[in-house]
């Protein structure tokens, strides 16, 4: 696409009492009734003063530019290289084909198979789930019990090795398999992308109302910010990002989450600590010095959802430190339409969720004296008591492929902890695990029967929210009673209020929306 040639307006003549002198344009090509003109070898465009060479067309959708007549315009929507393939609201470069399955937003190589929202390598076949490929071959599985969060599986395949010029499977990668295996996904799903020459393990998340929707919003905010900052690799689809696992307990956290959600939790009326700070990329997947965004999410979608989902992914894929992973938000993130300069949270929701007028001076919900005293005393206790129960069966994938009961523990400071756990309901528990919001496991017991005892030590000073996860396919009432002996200077929240920097409570307005749509736990 080339810049247009400027034309000339015809000189305006002045009326003289006894004569009129007709003045002419200096260019030979006259336009619009001789009101302006273009140079030789050019043509007039619809915009006054804009000319294009005769071997090109004027861009009505982009005034001031010309498109070669040999170019592909896709009905006037684009100006791209000849031989390009029109693909809905996209254009595929020459040599690639438009995949119209799943919305027509993919460009496949000639050798690739067109599947629903996927371009699959030659020799593979479309998987049962959109966006994935399956290898062709015979697969046998044997279930073994381990102490990790889900059972593992071994497999043998007789499939032909997949080959593509765009992506070369690594020597240790497993064949691509269906994304869902019930009751728990045990096979690591790997994908090729235009941004990587290897298959990458996929951490796939879906926005499920009341389960993961606020976590997905937080992640999409981070992905959108990284995209605008040029930190997302080329060749990735909407809602995709490539991150690197730092390793268990290795966390690079840039944003300060201390007290970030305190005012929102207080104003919500759902209890202290009802909202937790979530950052993206998660600290365990954030490079050293990498920028992060932060957002307040219901606590059960943080330590009670992100933790077990991330742990399940890392375990089943055998992700090791420095391994790269593909984060994939099903449905993408563009639907949220984040502004370029992110505004306070209350400004992005419709009025129906904000019945109170937005004040230029936001309110500052004050903590009552009882809460302040509780936090003050708790920091000086040598021993704390913890107890809670829950029977809600979580279904974060929305398709019953990953289910569990999560019981929140809140933030845990450095110290030694012991938990006695009981299960009422007669259902089988695959294992019970205490983990933090990044999926780091503190203790686990495989296949407990009726009860379980767990003990562990924390010494990294992280003060992270944690949860007790019972992996099961049926509802079961999970109750724990625990105690913690804190080390010197150790503090834990256990329902107490963390200190927070003073400032405008931009997040307070969010509670109106959160409560309206029923984010209770």
For the residues of 379-443, what is the DSSP string, one character each?
TT-SEEEEEEEE--EE-TTSSSSS-EEEEEEEEE-SEEEEEEEEEESS---SEEEEEETT--EEE
Neighbours of 178 (CB within 10 A): 16
Q: Is 13 exposed, middle or buried (0-12, 13-18, 19+ CB in 10 A)?
A: exposed
How much is the pTM? 0.53
* Strand ranges for 460-510 from DSSP E: 464-471, 477-486
- The pLDDT of residue 201 is 92
Q: Which residues make beta-bridge pairs with 56? A: 68
When computed from its CA atoms, the radius of gyration of the chain, rounded to whole angstroms, is 30
Q: Is 140 exposed, middle or buried (0-12, 13-18, 19+ CB in 10 A)?
A: exposed
List, in order, residues 6 or more apart from 46 with CB less than 8 Å away. Answer: 58, 60
Phi then psi dihedrals of residue 221, to 5 deg: -60, -45
Q: Which of 407, 388, 377 is nearest to 486 (CA)?
A: 377
Residue 351 backbone class (left: φ over 0; alpha: ψ -120 to 50; beta: rest): alpha
User: What is the DSSP code (8-state) at residue 487?
Assistant: -
Q: 90 is written with which tokens?
A: 């996209």
- The pLDDT of residue 104 is 53
Phi then psi dihedrals of residue 127, to 5 deg: -85, 170
- The pLDDT of residue 183 is 43
Q: Average pLDDT per run of 10 along the chain, which is 521 residues long?
A: 64 39 72 84 87 88 83 83 84 86 74 82 74 51 30 34 44 38 60 74 91 92 90 88 90 82 82 87 85 89 90 92 93 75 35 31 33 34 86 88 90 93 88 92 93 94 90 92 82 39 37 34 34
SS3 306: helix
Q: Which of 479, 484, 503, 480 is nearest to 494 (CA)?
A: 484
User: How many Å apart are CA 168 and CA 178, to the nearest integer?
Assistant: 19
Q: 118 is written with which tokens?
A: 């996927």
Q: Which residues make beta-bridge pairs with 153? A: 143
CB 74 within 8 A of CB 85: no
User: How many Å apart are CA 295 and CA 220, to the nearest integer?
Assistant: 11
CB 299 within 8 A of CB 411: no
- The pLDDT of residue 198 is 75
User: How many Å apart are CA 517 and CA 337, to the nearest integer?
Assistant: 20
Q: 17 is written with which tokens?
A: 């009492």
Q: Which of 293, 278, 290, 284 is nearest to 322 (CA)?
A: 284
Residue 372 belongs to what H/E stretch?
A: helix 369-378
User: What is the DSSP code (8-state) at residue 35?
Assistant: T
User: How many Å apart are CA 406 and CA 471, to the nearest integer?
Assistant: 9
In the chain, where the domains are located: 2-68, 369-486
User: How many Å apart are CA 461 and CA 253, to the nearest integer?
Assistant: 13
With b for 16 or more beta-carbon neighbours within 10 A and e for fewer, the 343-362 pattern comes to: eebbebeeeebbeeeeeeeb
DSSP per residue, 327-347: EEETT-SGGG---SSPPPGGG
Phi then psi dihedrals of residue 61, to 5 deg: -85, -10
CB 301 within 8 A of CB 274: no
Q: 315 is written with which tokens?
A: 């375990």
Residues 246/252/258/260 CA torsion (nearest 10 deg):
-90
User: How many Å apart are CA 65 and CA 67, to the nearest integer?
Assistant: 7
Q: 204 is written with which tokens?
A: 């796939």
CB 405 within 8 A of CB 470: yes
Q: Is the dihedral of CA 273, 275, 279, 283 positive or negative?
A: positive
**Domain 369-486 of CATH type 2.60.120.380:** yes
Neighbours of 409 (CB within 10 A): 27
């Amino acid at each position: 696409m080339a810049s247009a040639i400027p034309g000339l307006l015809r000189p305006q003549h002045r009326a003289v009492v006894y004569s009129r002198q007709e003045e002419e344009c200096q260019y030979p090509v006259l336009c619009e009734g001789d009101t302006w003109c273009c140079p030789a070898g050019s043509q007039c465009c619809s915009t006054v003063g804009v000319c294009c060479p005769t071997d090109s067309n004027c861009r009505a959708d982009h005034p001031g530019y010309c498109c070669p007549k040999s170019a592909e315009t896709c009905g006037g929507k684009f100006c791209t290289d000849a031989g390009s393939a029109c693909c809905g609201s996209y254009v595929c470069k020459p040599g690639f084909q438009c995949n119209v399955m799943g919305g027509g937003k993919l460009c496949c190589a000639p050798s690739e198979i067109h599947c629903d929202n996927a371009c699959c390598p030659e020799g593979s076949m479309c998987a049962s789930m959109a966006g994935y490929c399956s290898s062709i071959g015979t697969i046998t599985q044997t279930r073994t019990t381990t102490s990790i969060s889900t059972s593992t599986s071994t497999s043998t395949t007789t499939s032909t090795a997949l080959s593509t010029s765009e992506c070369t499977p690594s020597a240790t990668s497993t064949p691509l398999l269906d994304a869902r295996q019930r009751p728990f996904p045990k096979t690591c799903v790997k994908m090729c992308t235009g941004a990587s020459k290897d298959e990458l393990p996929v951490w796939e998340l879906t926005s499920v109302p009341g389960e993961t929707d606020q976590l997905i919003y937080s992640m999409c905010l981070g992905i959108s910010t990284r995209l605008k900052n040029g930190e997302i690799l080329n060749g990735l689809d909407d809602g995709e990002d490539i991150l690197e696992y730092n390793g268990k307990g290795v966390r690079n956290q840039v944003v300060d989450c201390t007290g970030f959600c305190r005012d929102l939790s207080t104003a919500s009326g759902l209890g202290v600590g009802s909202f937790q700070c979530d950052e993206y990329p998660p600290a365990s997947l954030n490079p050293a010095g990498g920028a992060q965004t932060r957002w307040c999410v219901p606590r059960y979608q943080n330590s009670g959802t992100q933790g077990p989902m991330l742990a399940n992914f890392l375990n089943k894929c055998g992700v090791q430190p420095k391994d790269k992973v593909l984060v994939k938000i099903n449905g993408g993130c563009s639907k949220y339409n984040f502004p370029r300069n992110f505004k306070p949270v209350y400004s992005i929701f419709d009025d129906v969720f904000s019945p109170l007028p937005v004040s230029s001076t936001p309110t500052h919900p004050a903590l009552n004296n009882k809460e302040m005293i509780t936090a003050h005393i708790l920091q000086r206790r040598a021993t704390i008591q913890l107890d809670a129960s829950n029977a809600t069966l979580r279904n974060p994938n929305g398709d019953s492929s990953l289910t569990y009961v999560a019981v929140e523990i809140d933030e845990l400071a450095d110290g030694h902890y012991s938990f006695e756990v009981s299960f009422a309901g007669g259902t089988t528990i695959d294992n019970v695990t205490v983990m933090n919001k990044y999926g780091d496991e503190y203790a686990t017991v495989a296949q407990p029967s009726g009860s379980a005892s767990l003990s562990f030590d924390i010494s990294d000073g992280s003060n992270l929210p944690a949860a007790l996860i019972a992996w099961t396919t049926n509802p079961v009432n999970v109750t724990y009673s625990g105690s913690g002996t804190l080390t010197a200077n150790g503090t834990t929240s256990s329902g107490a209020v963390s200190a927070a920097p003073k400032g405008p409570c931009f997040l307070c307005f969010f509670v109106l929306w959160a409560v309206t749509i029923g984010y209770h736990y």
